Structure 1
């Protein structure tokens, strides 16, 4: 049973990473993240209020303790967070590159003015 849990955890990491790396800030993507956050919050609150349920779920999955189950879940969530942070960083870099190109084009000297004045700086 423990190998099954390990396989499920690995698949969860892969699927979570792929889902979040696909990108986009569209409504569907945002809704998925919000739903995942709400599920996590409810599960966290229930595990604090009723720790015996968490231990029971862990035993049902073939995991020794509820705290181990929480650790495994946190590892999965950490990888999902890392994937999200990577995606956000990549989008920021793309936006910054586009902005820098736009500014460079806008501030470039007019070739006609440079030819008339003979000044390379365009002033």
Structure 2
């Protein structure tokens, strides 16, 4: 039962961290550490499959596969929220670039029009 509380708290903390943090070097470092820990845990469980069942019983979950499922839910949420943040960041960057492109084209068109007007005034 206490493990369910730990999972809920983990989900809330992961969600808060990902929603409130700004992408940067620290954010990337945390993602890399989480990935490394996940890979090491996966290799450990593959080499010693009984360890997962023992760990599940230790934390109050019936079977190792149930524990693995709960942890996969947490990891899935982590991935979805992270990709959502990344998508929003890319959309904002694209909007900014599109605005800059339109403004640059407008400035260029204005300068070309002004230059053509000057040339027309000087023509005999």
TM range (shorter): 0.7 to 0.9
CA deviation after TM superposition for structure 1 residue 11, in Å: 1.1
What is aligned with 1:31?
Answer: 29
CA deviation after TM superposition for structure 1 residue 100, in Å: 0.5
Compute the RMSD of aligned alpha carbons: 1.8
Residue 63 (1) aligns with residue 61 (2): yes
CA deviation after TM superposition for structure 1 residue 26, in Å: 1.6
Unpaired runs of 5+ in structure 1? 118-123
What is aligned with 1:79?
Answer: 77
For these two proteins, the number of residue pairs brought into alignment is 114
Bigger fraction of residues in helix: 2
For 2:84 and 2:112, locate their aligned partners in 1 and report how far apart those are by CA, in whole Å: 43
Larger Rg: 2
Q: Deviations over 1:52-110 (max 9, x none)?
A: 11111100111000010000000000000011000000000000000000011011131
For 2:86 and 2:18, locate their aligned partners in 1 and report how far apart those are by CA, in whole Å: 10
TM-score scaled by length of structure 2: 0.84
Residue 113 (1) aligns with residue 95 (2): no
Q: Is the 8 A contact 1:23 1:87 kept in 2?
A: no
Residue 8 (1) aligns with residue 6 (2): yes
For 1:12 and 1:92, locate their aligned partners in 2 and report how far apart those are by CA, in whole Å: 27
